Amino acid sequence: MVYLINKENFTTDAWTLEGFERELSLDYSRSYVMEMGGQVVGYAVVWIIHDEAHIMTLGIKKDLWGRGLGRKLLVWIIEDLRQSVSRFLLDVRVSNLRAIKLYKDMGFKILSLRYRYYSDGENAYQMCLELSDGDKGQEAKEGYISPRDS
């Protein structure tokens, strides 16, 4: 199901099934699966490199967009990793205004513009959430809701 959610969310840069399988064998890769009513509704893959968490891919079933599940998944990830990392990094398409708004609401800031980052030539923003600031990391902790409680 994770593969299908990824495919429906990311048309030109969707991960292959082999790519997801490879992630399971990487020591620095963590996979998250969000369930609701016994169904997989979201996922994320995060690489832990030194004291940084790189959100490599994250998706929510399209028919459930707008229900706050992406925020809950991010809060869950931040809570899980906040003791072992000092910041989170991710790349997002400049056209993905919905995701950019969510990330900014969660305290992420744009670090740079990556030109022609995606295979179709679209640019990406590299965004960062610094937990050492104590602002959004604490907010995430206080707002923690297990995705299984959704």
Nearest Cα to 91, choosing from 65, 116, 72?
Answer: 116
Rounded to an integer, the average pLDDT of 13-39 is 89
Q: Can you spell out the DSSP letters for 36-58?
A: ETTEEEEEEEEEEETTEEEEEEE
pLDDT score of 15 = 86
Specify the pTM.
Answer: 0.83
Higher pLDDT, 12 or 70: 70
Categorize the per-residue pLDDT at 6 as very low, low, confident or very high, splitting at 50, 70 and 90: confident
Report the SS3 class of residue 68.
coil
* pLDDT tens figures, 16-28: 888 888 888 899 9
Q: What is the pLDDT of residues 68-117, one digit of tens each?
A: 999 999 999 999 999 999 999 999 999 999 999 999 999 999 999 999 99
Q: How many domains does the structure of the chain reveal?
A: 1
Print the domain residue range for 129: 2-149
- In this predicted structure, the answer to whether residue 133 has a pLDDT above a threshold of 80 is no
CA 107 to chain centre: 14
Whether the pLDDT of residue 140 is over 70: the answer is: no
CATH number assigned to the domain comprising residue 115: 3.40.630.30
Burial class of residue 103 (count of CB atoms within 10 Å of its CB; 0-12, 13-18, 19+): buried
Residue in the structure block whose two tokens are 């902790």: 141
